[in-house]
Amino acid sequence: MEKSFVMVKPDGVQRELVGEIIGRFEKKGVKVIGLKLMVISEELARKHYAVHEGKSFFEELIKFITSGPVVAMVMEGEGVIGVIRKMVGATKPGDADPGTIRGDFVLDAGQNIIHASDSKENAEREIDLFFAKEEIIEYSLAVRPWIYSLP
């Protein structure tokens, strides 16, 4: 099963949207297999967002993402990387459709309450950056047969 790295950013925690966000994924049938409240170090922030280094918003982004606790998660399910990105919505506030997390709660391109991996390669890299192997719990949910027709 596919895995994605998802994070409620400091603004999402401060706005008390953690339950709302996790609830949307739970209702979809996405399984949370790793979860922790943490403050990101500057070193980890720079690694996580390395692809944006040198861009005009990079230093602001590092300041923002290290400014308070975040909720870091590993989520699992069939095709979850794409499904979660759709549920998160576009980065540009005007492009995020209503019904998506950003479409419903975000008006800013930087403070956009949630991060989610955009590819398999990045999901693996981000999960490795944020989670030790033993922090990811493989378990089965009793509801599974009602979510998947697959065996």
Task: Give the distance, in angstroms, between the CA of residue 40 and the centroid of all CA atoms in the same chain.
Answer: 14
Catalytic residue among 3, 31, 48, 115: 115
Using the rule CB under 6 A, which residue among 115, 123, 130, 131 binds ligand UDP? 115
Is residue 57 involved in binding ligand UDP (CB under 6 A)?
Answer: yes
91 labelled ligand-binding: yes
In whole angstroms, the minimum distance from the beta carbon of 117 to ligand UDP comes to 8
Q: At what angle do helices 18-28 and 80-88 cross, to 10 degrees?
A: 140
C-alpha 3/C-alpha 5 separation (Å) is 7
Catalytic, 115? Answer yes
- Under rule CB under 6 A, residue 91 binds ligand UDP: yes
> Annotated binding residue at 66?
no
Cβ 36 to ligand UDP shortest distance, Å: 20
CB of 64 to ligand UDP, least distance (A): 7
| Region from 13-21, 38-46, 107-115, 140-148 binding ligand UDP, contact rule CB under 6 A | 107-115
> Per the annotation, where are the binding residues?
9, 57, 85, 91, 102, 112
- Footprint on this chain of ligand UDP (rule: CB under 6 A): 57, 61, 91, 109-110, 112, 115, 118
**Catalytic (active-site) positions:** 115
> Per the annotation, where are the binding residues for ATP?
9, 57, 85, 91, 102, 112
